[in-house]
Amino acid sequence: MSHNPASPTSPVIDVPLHIRMQLSHAYFQHLAEKSGVDILHIKGYAFAEEIYPPGRSSTDVDILVRPEHLDRLVQSALKDGWEIKAHFETGSIFEHAMTLYHGSWGLADIHRYFPGIGNAQGSAFDTLWQHRRVREIAHYPCFLPSLVDSRIFVIVHAARSATQINSDIDHLHSSLTSADWQTMRDRVPDLGAELAFAAALGEIERFDKHPDYLLWKSVSEETPLYLQWRARFNHAQGPRRKTRVLLSILRVNRDHLAMELGHQPSPQEIREKFFSRFRVWGK
C-alpha cells in the first residue's frame, strides 16, 4: 500500500522561517486583491538584499495599507484565522501598526501609516502608490514602494532606534553613490519625511524649531524617560489624545506584556510590571 503523505501518522514538517515569511507576503497580496485592498509590502523579505545587507533575516511581515481600506483588510484577515496580538493604540507610541498572528503564517504588522513618512492619517500613501513597483515574492507579484522610496523607508525606520551604530544605514552608505543619496534627499520632501530622515542621520538639530523635534530626538537618541513622556504629550493632538498619553504612564501595556511573556499576563504579573516602572524611573 502506498504511503499517504497526508496521513495522521506522517511527521509534521516545519517550514523554515525565511520561507514562511516570504509565503506570508504572497498570502497577504492575494488576500488584498481578493478583498479589493491596496497594500505595499515594506521592510523584511520584501526589500531583501536589494536594500539590506546580505544575510539579514526577518521574523514578521510588514504591510502598509491604504487608510480607507484598512478595516476591510483587517476584517478579511480575522475571518481567515488571524488574531490580534497588539492593537494600534498599544503597538507603539506612534500607534501606527496592529500586530496579527496566525498559527500557520506567523506574525504580521499591519501599518495604517509609517512613522516619519507623511502624517498619522496616512497622507503619504497616494504618493508612494503612484511610484510603486512590482517584485515577485515567493513567485507571486507583490506591490512595493519604488526603489528610492524603499531606501527612505529603511533610513526613516532607523530614526526610531537610539543605537549609535545602525548596520542598515551603514550598508546604504557603503553601497550607494552620492548621486543616489541626492536622489533620496530630493524625494524626502514629497513624502513629508524630512524630520525623521534627519534624525536617522544625526542631523535633527537642523529642525530644532519643528513642533515634533523633541519627539524624534527622544526616539533617535538616548533621552531621559521624563523627556520621552513630555515629547509624547506635546505630540498628542487634542485633549482626548493628551489624556490618553497621561493615562498610559500609569497603565501597563497588556498587549506588550503578553507578547513579552508568551501568555496572557496574570494580575500578579501586571502588578509586578507596574511597580517595575518606578524602579526604572528612580535610576
Q: From the CA atom positions of the chain, what is the Rg in Å?
A: 20
Are the C-beta atoms of residues 46 and 62 closer than 8 Å to each other?
yes
pLDDT tens digits, 74-118: 999 999 999 999 999 877 889 999 999 999 999 999 999 999 999
Q: Measuring CA to CA, which residue among 113, 224, 157 is closest to residue 214?
A: 224
| Measured distance CA(42)–CA(181) in Å, rounded | 20
Count Cβ atoms within 10 A of the Cβ of residue 153 and give its class: 0-12 exposed, 13-18 middle, 19 or more buried: buried
- pTM of the complete model: 0.83
pLDDT band at 254 (very low <50, low <70, confident <90, very high): low
Q: Which of 120-129, 240-249, 267-276 has the lowest mean pLDDT?
A: 267-276
